Chains A and B, each alone.
Chain A
Amino acid sequence: MLKNLIYIVALTFTQLVSFQPLFAQINSVEMQVDGMTCPFCVYGIEKKLEALKEVEDASANLKTGTVDIALNENEQIDIERLNKAVHESGFTPGKMKINATGRLTTYELEGKENPAFKVTGSGQVFLLTGAPDHGTEEPLKQKKLEGPKNASGNGSDEFTITGYIHSQPSRVPPVLSIESFEVK
């Protein structure tokens, strides 16, 4: 009896400490795809994207020339894989816009600490624009970057950020240029 009780308590504890959020906090991905102008063409793009393990659903919007991509739970965005899928469907990938929830953090690159954004759930890290050596130095984007920095204080607050992501050399996180943000 005691043995069973210990077993149940241990199991419960294990479940608690291994708890992960049930959903990825990349809320949406909007990918520009150039060249798609008919429903019959769109099918190939959606099928190619949906064949990726991280993609749950892909739905094209002809008016905006974009594809809305829903990721599976806790999956990360691999820009190169998404671009390759669009290329293989015969069309041209463009800008990629995401809306994601997470926390500010830092990422060490070449001995320097760079501001970064860590997505809740998947743990994916994006370098934020304005970081030295990575991203633009435009004043507006710098200002936008300062917003979440100040609001976050010690970085424990959770944000929802909308912005464009850009791929980087391998083993370097993609860059996220902030378009807008809000504190959750």
Chain B
Amino acid sequence: MDKIYSVTVSIIAFVVLSFISTTNALSAPINSNVALPVRQGGFVFRSQVKWLRATDDPTSLNREVNVVAVPNVLVYGATPDLALFAIFPYIFRQVEFTDAASEQRINKNENGIGDLTLLARYTIYARDYPSGTFRIAPLAGIKIPTGDDDLEPITTDSIDLQFGGVSTITWDFGRHEIDADVIYRINTEAKSFESGDDLTYDLAYEFRLYPWTLPDVGTPNFIYLVAEANGIYSQKGKLGSETIDDSGGHTLFLSPGLQFATRRYILESSIQLPAIQDLNGGQVKTDFILTAGFRVNLP
């Protein structure tokens, strides 16, 4: 049962982790990364509540999974080009399934601190112009096993590495913004368990809905319509020397959202709906991920 239970939540872990290890501290995308700068010596704090619900179980376990992750991100502008991120999530998990022996519904709840992720993003190319900017920034990070053991395998005892890149282009004085990123995660083995490596990719488009035309003077608050595609390829995990067949696969979410941006803070919300769920074996499928959050420029 332990193994089945692990497998049950494995793919959920991948999905959740892929979206909490994000570097979108600044403007617009909600579930994607961004390459806009953080002022040198400045801090940005961001927190989101992400509710993932998965109920479509092809097996007789009839599993229902709810994960609420609260990824908190503190960003520090070390230099105009180098931003450092610390991501420390808090996670609630509830899994309900039918016990094959007793045919009783079993409900398991855990909550605790997730694993800490540290990331560095360095802008290698920036082309600023009066009405916009174009930037490219590679990033690299490490996941440290600081999380609560009760949440395994969302948390793991492994030290995992990730690297990738993000690009942002804005034009027409903030009317339009496109962000794209690709991140590869090397997940290592610990306690005989190894999540498969995964590759996340995101493409986001933001459209400034309000104000339709900018005032002659000053900086108004903005409302953005956000449309994102958030994907993840995961390899199969391993338990000891055995490959977990019911793990890994490809998931693509389409994610409409809305964002309210001021000088000091951003409020945002989106819903991620699965467009593709090509999962290996008998895995429970995600119904949606609902996100609400804020970011604040610290003084």
Chain A positions near chain B (C-beta within 8 angstroms): 32, 34-35, 37-48, 59-65, 87-92, 94
Contact = CB atoms under 8 A, between A and B. Distances in A.
A32 B131 CA distance: 11
A170 B115 CA distance: 51
Main secondary structure of the interface of B (DSSP, over half): loop
Interface in B182-230: 214-222
A38 B39 contact: no
Given A34-B129, A60-B219, A61-B219, A41 B177 contact: no
**What 3 A-B pairs have minimum CB-CB distances, sorted nearest first?**
A90-B37, A35-B128, A44-B39
A34 to B, nearest CB: 4
Nearest to B222: A39
Given A89-B40, A89-B80, A34 B214 contact: no
Given A34-B128, A65-B173, A89 B37 contact: yes
Nearest to B131: A65
Contacts, number: 115
A43 B77 CA distance: 14
A87 to B, nearest CB: 6
B26 A35 contact: no
Nearest to A93: B128
B264 interface: yes
Contacts of B216: 61, 63-64
Nearest to B217: A61
B42 interface: yes
14 contacts: A37-B170, A40-B295, A40-B297, A44-B37, A44-B297, A47-B299, A63-B173, A63-B217, A89-B37, A89-B40, A89-B80, A90-B38, A90-B77, A91-B133
A42 B219 contact: yes
B251 to A, nearest CB: 30
Instruction: Classify chain B's interface size.
Output: 35 or more
B189 to A, nearest CB: 39
Contacts of B132: 35, 37
B128 A92 contact: yes
Interface of B: 26-28, 36-42, 77, 80-81, 123, 126, 128-133, 170-171, 173-174, 177, 214-222, 261-266, 295, 297, 299
B49 to A, nearest CB: 20
Contacts of A32: 130
Given A40-B266, A44-B39, A90-B77, A65 B295 contact: no
Contact of B39 (A61, A65, A90): A90
Contacts of B266: 40
Contact of A88 (B80, B173, B214): B80
Nearest to A94: B130
A42 B39 CA distance: 10
B173 A39 contact: no
A39 B265 CA distance: 9
B173 A62 contact: yes
Contacts of A88: 39-41, 80
A45 B40 CA distance: 10
Contact of B128 (A42, A62, A91): A91
A91 B37 contact: yes
Contacts of A94: 130
B179 to A, nearest CB: 12
Contacts of A60: 218-219
A34 B297 contact: no
Nearest to A92: B128
Contacts of B42: 44, 47
A94 B128 CA distance: 10
B174 A37 contact: yes
B89 to A, nearest CB: 22
Given A37-B131, A45-B39, A88-B80, A62 B174 contact: yes
